[in-house]
Amino acid sequence: MLFPAGIFRAIVGKMRLNATMTQNVVTYTVEVVTDNADGKLLPYLTANVRFIVSNRTGVLLVPNTALRWTPTGEQMAVSGRGKADKAQSGKSASGAEPPAQAGQEEANRGTVWTPEGTLVKAIPVRLGMSDGTMTEVQSEQLTEGMVVVIGEQPKEAATATATTSPFTPQFFRSSGGRH
């Protein structure tokens, strides 16, 4: 538990199953057990708690948006089309369906796209842990610092400048006279 006074290590003691709902948010009361020898924790204290379920170091992370984005056929580099088709269909290079046990492994596979000139190239990846925002990926073709595509900018936004925003202050100059 993270408090202004410090960090406390805690384990879940009890989880009450009588949920409450306030403004469409379901809340469960959870009791945590921690050492309070110094008396910093007070009775009935409410806290925001983050549980670390697992911890990994030295892994490559990509934003989840990079795993969801798929280019159109015209955006794909010729060298990456076969890999993309294979990665997205789950079929082997011969076109055969994967074995039944591969269904679980298929859920652990994804594709990220890297720029190749004005086009994008597919890189098949094996997925690891995720925190909901970033996901661990493994691939011999990926290295730290590589650029991956997370989306595309609309054409009108690409040509717009900051001064075209209706919320940007406009400064008018008069052609003469007093200000």
| pLDDT (tens digit per residue) in 107-146 | 799 999 999 988 999 999 999 999 889 999 999 999 999 9
| Comparison of pLDDT for 146 and 154, the residue scoring more | 146
Q: What integer pLDDT is reported at residue 175 of this predicted model?
A: 56
The β-bridge partners of 76 are 120
* Residue 148 domain boundaries: 60-153
Please tell me the total count of domains within the chain.
2
- Give the integer Cα–Cα distance in Å for 34 and 47: 13
* 69 and 40 in a common domain: no
Kindly report the pTM of this predicted structure. 0.55
Q: Do the beta carbons of residue 151 and residue 69 sit within 8 Å?
A: yes
Strand residues in 117-161 grouped as ranges (E): 119-130, 134-138
Average the pLDDT over 43-60 and give the result. Answer: 80
* 69 and 24 in a common domain: no
| Comparison of pLDDT for 161 and 125, the residue scoring more | 125
* 140 and 115 in a common domain: yes
Average the pLDDT over 7-18 and give the result. Answer: 80
pLDDT in tens, 90-105: 444 334 444 555 555 6
Q: What integer pLDDT is reported at residue 5 of this predicted model?
A: 45
* 23 and 94 in a common domain: no
pLDDT in tens, 74-89: 888 876 555 555 555 5
| Comparison of pLDDT for 169 and 67, the residue scoring more | 67
Amino acid at 56: R
* 71 and 45 in a common domain: no
